[in-house]
Every structure is written in structure tokens, then in C-alpha cells.
């Protein structure tokens, strides 16, 4: 019985980790949405070397090297260019 509780609790913990990654959503206000080129220029002005930009759940997902040489994977609000989540 103890092993069943252990297995079930580990499944719940694992599922919550996966769910949090899928919970990222951005408003799709197309009127004020920045283009990928504008996003790239914004982050290049901050000293980033932008390698790739994807549209993910209404957000931009940016793969880049920051001004300190670190790899970055950041989710950015397409309207404000604010970093929502950063997996640095």
C-alpha cells in the first residue's frame, strides 16, 4: 500500500511540472502585437544574439545568447516585449 501512495504522489508531482510549462499563454491582441523582426531588434539592442523566434501559445519563444554569453530560452509577451518566463 505504501508503494502505491509513493507512485501516485510522484505521478502528481510530475504532472504538475509538465502542466506549468503548458500554462504559458499570451493575449492575442493583434492590434498591438510586435512583429518577429521588432522582437529580434529589441533583444539585439539589449546585446542578445537572437538565434530563433517561435510563436508558442500566443507568445514569442526566443532562443538566444545573452550579452553575458549565456544561452537563453525566454517566453516574451508579443505586445509589451516583457519576458514572461526565462529558462536561463
Sequence-ordered list of residues with C-beta below 8 angstroms from that of 58, at least 6 positions apart, any chain: 25, 26, 27, 28, 78
Grid coordinates representing 48? Answer: 542578445
| Burial (CB count <10 Å: 0-12, 13-18, 19+), residue 43 | buried
Q: Rounded distance, CA 13 to CA 58, Å?
A: 26
> What is the chain's mean pLDDT, rounded?
80
pLDDT in tens, 43-55: 999 999 999 999 9
Q: Supply the range of the domain harboring residue 70.
A: 2-86
Q: Mean pLDDT over residues 54-73, rounded? A: 94
Count CB atoms within 10 A of the CB of residue 32: 9
- Total structural domains within the chain: 1
Amino acid at each position: 500500500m505504501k508503494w502505491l501512495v509513493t507512485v501516485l504522489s510522484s505521478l502528481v508531482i510530475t504532472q504538475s511540472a509538465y502542466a506549468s510549462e503548458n500554462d504559458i499563454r499570451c493575449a492575442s491582441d493583434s492590434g498591438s502585437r510586435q512583429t518577429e523582426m521588432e522582437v529580434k531588434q529589441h533583444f539585439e539592442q539589449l546585446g542578445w544574439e537572437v538565434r530563433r523566434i517561435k510563436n508558442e501559445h500566443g507568445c514569442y519563444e526566443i532562443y538566444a545568447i545573452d550579452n553575458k554569453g549565456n544561452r537563453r530560452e525566454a517566453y516574451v509577451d508579443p505586445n509589451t516585449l516583457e519576458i514572461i518566463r526565462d529558462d536561463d
